[in-house]
Amino acid sequence: MNWDDLRLLLAVARRGSFLRAGETLGMAASTLSRRITQLETVIGAALVERGADGTRLTARGSALVQAAQDFESALVPPPEASGLSGRIRITAGEGFVGPLTDIAAEFTTLNPGCTVDLSITAELVKLAQGASDIAIRTLHLGEPSLIYQRLADIEFRIFSTPEIAARPGLRPETLPMIGLLPPLDQLPHMKVARTAGFGNIRIRVSSFAAQLAAVQRGHGAGALPRVLAKDLVEPFPGQVLPGLEVFLVTRPQALRQPHIRAFVDLLKGRMLPE
């Protein structure tokens, strides 16, 4: 057993399936599964339970993952010894402002010589041509010159203020909703919400930020990302909506720069699925 074996097991534990772990590692799922089977043979015990809905760690696998995480932490040099400097340019949609500014603040605190430029836009910038170093996208365009890595999906639910959720006799069809204008109204979570009966749309807005603000001010409920729904509640907790896949997109040339590589590593550590 060596560190490379443990690295593969860590990826499977963090991503929850061989397919997603393989995407992160740049390895075929079948190859990754075979490598884990070889590791299990060396250990003499099952480490991963394979199922139709993904993978789960056995008790022995969980213990080994904990040891691997401790070893991984020991490999990371102290932040004050990094001496990193330089500018990091990121483009992302408005829904990622909170998480990305949190990560940028953490990174620049650890690396005072670095600055982070965050550009919020709905447009797909020409990353391959150097318009940005990093992009956070909800689309995989399959550009061969770029590196795509899967992050945690965005989970959507119906949220409102506690006051609206507490209204007596509330039903999906009577719940006032804050909708989105085209083309955002055709996103999967919006379409499923309407199909489920949440069609009493009183106000429609052109951005996620405006939708969130209207819901927070008590003007209605909305189909919102769970990560942004602070101080809001689910009036119908059983209603599940489709999520959105999220990808970290980078240029290989950018990753050769130590400060950008360090930022990408921190971002993945914060935004990979648990």
Same domain, 139 and 174: no
Q: What region, left, alpha or beta, does residue 270 occupy, with left being phi > 0 and alpha being psi -120 to 50 degrees?
A: alpha
Q: Is residue 57 part of a domain?
A: yes
pLDDT band at 79 (very low <50, low <70, confident <90, very high): very low
Question: Each residue of 128-163: pLDDT tens digit?
Answer: 777 889 999 988 888 888 899 988 888 999 999 999
Q: Is residue 238 part of a domain?
A: no
Measured CA to CA, the distance from residue 13 to residue 72 in angstroms comes to: 14
Residue 101 belongs to domain with CATH number: 3.40.190.10
Measured CA to CA, the distance from residue 226 to residue 211 in angstroms comes to: 14
Domain boundary among 75, 96, 126: 75
Q: Is residue 215 part of a domain?
A: yes
Q: Is residue 237 part of a domain?
A: no
Same domain, 218 and 260: no
Same domain, 133 and 267: yes
pLDDT band at 55 (very low <50, low <70, confident <90, very high): confident
Return all residues near 247 (Cβ < 8 A) that are at least 6 apart.
136, 137, 138, 139, 140, 148, 149, 150, 151
Q: Is residue 198 part of a domain?
A: yes
Tally the domains of the chain.
3
**Average pLDDT value over all residues in the chain:** 88
Q: What percent of the chain has pLDDT over 90?
A: 50
Same domain, 144 and 256: yes
Domain boundary among 24, 44, 75: 75
Domain boundary among 75, 99, 119: 75
Give the tokens for residue 256: 């050769």
pLDDT band at 36 (very low <50, low <70, confident <90, very high): very high
- What pTM, to 2 d.p., does this model score? 0.61
Q: Is residue 177 part of a domain?
A: yes
> Which H or E run includes 253?
helix 252-255
How far, in whole angstroms, is CA 249 from its chain's centroid? Answer: 12
Residue 19 belongs to domain with CATH number: 1.10.10.10
Q: Are 214 and 205 in contact (CB under 8 A)?
A: yes
Q: What region, left, alpha or beta, does residue 122 occupy, with left being phi > 0 and alpha being psi -120 to 50 degrees?
A: alpha
Closest CA to 242 of 192, 199, 183: 192
Q: Is residue 235 part of a domain?
A: no
Same domain, 42 and 177: no
Domain that holds residue 170: 156-228
CA distances (Å), 246 to each of 81, 97, 174, 208, in order? 32, 14, 32, 16
Return all residues near 258 (Cβ < 8 A) that are at least 6 apart.
84
Q: Which span out of 10-14, 100-104, 150-154 was modeled with the highest average pLDDT?
A: 100-104
Same domain, 122 and 161: no
Diameter of the chain measured on Cα atoms = 62
Same domain, 258 and 136: yes
